Amino acid sequence: MNKTLARVFFYVGISVFAALLVLPLLTLFSVSFRADADVYNPSFFPPHPTIEPYQIALEKYPLLRFLLNSFVISSLVTAGVLLISSCTGYALARISSRVTNTVFALIVGLLLVPGEVTFLPLYIMVNRLGWVDSYFALTLPFIASPIGIFLLRQFFKSLPQELFDAARLDGAGHFRMLWHIAIPLAMPALGALAALTFLGTWNMYLWPLVVTNAESLRTAQIALRFISSDEAVRYNIVGAAAVIILLPTLIAFLIAQRAFVRGIAMGSLKG
């Protein structure tokens, strides 16, 4: 009886916590389907649901262009992080030398440096290279991720040495061992890193705001800030724009979640 009561309290508590997390999103969806006259209506559901706020947001602002910018930037950064983190993590895990140990120590040290410390020097470097108002400034500074290299190095380090010894006896070099052994087994770590990198890049605000001036290069988050300033009292249009910008991240999260689960199954079968 005590176990049943404890389980009931546990699930009730989890449900309440989940409801508190989801409530702001539900409120956002509710506001986005309201007409101007119903924005301040106290009812939770829209009294007269309409898609007019979405039509106005799409017609008045180039949201599709902003979404395309964010998608391209997030995809390029994610691809770069996965490539560089995989190669560097494998080298640090499987090539033992004084140089690799020193490089790994420096990478661990970079994890302790706040982003605010490197923000100004990074902007000065990008400005001197002439990359302001370009995709280079929005992507290249972030394709080398210390946390990604650290995570994959630790994962590759945990793989059985016998697998690599057997591949070496068959004449495989480091590139083949990386591509045919390490990466397939690292699918869970790669899936998690891809999800974190994509969502983190998509949600970047301060850096794109500083290095871009042209409207054609604005990302979704920057565009939402300008829309909220332009539509100061029309919260339904701001809500509609926010929902349109939010949907790709939800879809990306669901896709990454499936890849993550599939990667765990592949790793368990191959391990």
**Domain of residue 174, CATH code:** 1.10.3720.10
pLDDT at 85: 92
In a domain, 234, yes or no: yes
The two structure tokens encoding residue 179 = 């591509």
Give the predicted TM-score (pTM) of the model: 0.82
SS3 percent helix, strand, coil of the chain, rounded to 5, is 80, 0, 20
In a domain, 140, yes or no: yes
In a domain, 13, yes or no: no
Please check whether residue 53 is in contact with residue 235, taking contact to mean a CB–CB distance below 8 angstroms: no
Distance CA(23)–CA(41), nearest Å, equals 17
pLDDT at 63: 87
| CB environment 28-52: b (16+ within 10 A), e (fewer) | bebbbbbeeebbeeeeeebeeeeee
pLDDT at 126: 92
Identify the CA nearest to 140 among candidates 232, 237, 233, 211.
Answer: 211
Distance CA(190)–CA(193), nearest Å, equals 5
Please check whether residue 262 is in contact with residue 187, taking contact to mean a CB–CB distance below 8 angstroms: yes
In a domain, 20, yes or no: no
pLDDT at 268: 41
Enclosing domain of residue 59: 51-270
pLDDT at 270: 42
Distance CA(271)–CA(265), nearest Å, equals 10
Number of domains present in the structure of the chain: 1
DSSP label of 51: S
pLDDT at 128: 92
- The per-residue pLDDT string of the chain (271 residues; one tens digit each, 9 = 90 and over) reads 577 777 888 888 888 888 888 888 888 888 888 888 888 887 888 888 888 889 888 888 888 889 999 999 999 999 999 999 999 999 888 888 888 888 888 988 888 888 888 888 999 999 999 898 889 999 999 998 898 898 888 888 888 888 888 888 888 888 888 888 888 888 888 888 888 888 889 888 889 989 988 888 888 888 888 888 877 678 888 888 989 888 888 877 777 666 655 544 444 434 4
